[in-house]
Every structure is written in C-alpha cells, then in structure tokens.
Amino acid sequence: MQWVDKFSIISDWIIRIVWTNIIWVVLTLMGGIVLGFMPATVALFTVTRKWARGDLDAPIWRLAFQTYKQVFWSANLAGLIFLGLTAFLYMDLRIVFSLMNGILSTMLYFFLMFLLFVTLLSWLQYFAVFTHFKMKGALQYVVQAFLFVFTSLKTTLLVLVGLLLIGWLFSKVPAFILFASGTFPAYWIMKVDLPRFKKIEQQISS
C-alpha cells in the first residue's frame, strides 16, 4: 500500500510538472513569443509559488491564464526595461572588445560582463519578486529584483547552484527540456526565495 501511495504521489508530480510546462509554452506562443514570454513566465512562477507554499491543488490552467491576462502589459514593460539594459551592456561589451586595448579595457570588459551577469540574474529574480510582493509600477519590481540579488547573496548563490544542476540534468537527459524546461527552474527559484522573502517581510513589519 505504501508503494502504491508513493507511486501515486510521483505520478501526480510528473503530470503537474509536464502540464504546467505545456501551459507555459502555450501562453508564450499566444503572445507571439516576444509579447508572450514575460506574462507567461510570471504565470508560471505564480503556479510554482503555490506549490512551494504547499498548495498542490490549485487549478493550474485557470490560475495561469488569469495571471497571464492580468499582468500582460506590466510584465512586458518590465521585460522591455530588462531587454534595454541587456542590449546596452552587450553593445558596450562589443565596443570595448573590438576597439579598446590594454589593462583598463580588460578591467572594463570584465566589469561589464559582471553587470550583464547581474542583469540576467535579476531578470530571473524579477519573476519571483513580482509574484510575491505588491508594488506600484514595473520599474519598482525591476529595482527590487536587482536589490534582492545583492542583498540576499546566500539565496542568490543557492539559486545559481540549483540552476547549474538543472542545466546539467537537461544536458544529460534532453527530453526534460521538452517537458520541464520552465517548470524546474521556476519551482527551484521560488522554493529557495520564499524563506528569504518571509524574513524580509518580518524585517519590514517589525
């Protein structure tokens, strides 16, 4: 009987993960990929936040689709901000790499690489921050995502280690990319971030 219960739990998780990943892909495609990715990913994080908090019975499609509609424009505005920052830093890197020489240019190059890395990491953390906190305006969420990366270094490191392990798993079992490419990273990030979010809320309220 115990073996049957464990098999049932594992089966439920597999179905939950695969179904959520399919919904994420469908919602992304609904926005023509470019406009669909940001709100679809916010919807994905909203679902995985429920799981990380122990609510495994939340209606996945309804929750994801409602979130998708609600955050469509605000999420895309934040995406535009991140895209602009990423493009700016990337162009700066190209200029430094192709036109400048010497020790100072090398130092500048690595500094810009660091800023680009932080921007990409903040882009990931944005989704968790957006789904957990209530703020006014997309810019505030973007700023808080950057601050969270710097002020929660232990959490940031743990997120990075988990994402590297997930990347390694995908490289070993490519089939997971089709069925869990969004769900695994989103769940891991939310699972790691939630305890830190709670501590921040306690600090604010005290």
**Whole-number Å distance between alpha carbons of 162 and 124:** 13
- How many folded domains does the chain comprise? 1
Q: What is the pLDDT of residue 89?
A: 92
Q: What is the pLDDT of residue 35?
A: 95
Q: What is the pLDDT of residue 203?
A: 82
Residue 22 domain boundaries: 2-205
**Whole-number Å distance between alpha carbons of 146 and 140:** 10
**Whole-number Å distance between alpha carbons of 41 and 31:** 12
Q: What is the pLDDT of residue 205?
A: 76
Cut 0.85: pTM above it: yes
Q: What is the pLDDT of residue 4?
A: 63
Q: Which token pair is 2?
A: 């115990």
Taking 70 as the pLDDT cut, the residues of the chain under it are: 1, 3-4, 100, 206
| Contact indicator for 47, 60 with CB cutoff of 8 Å | yes
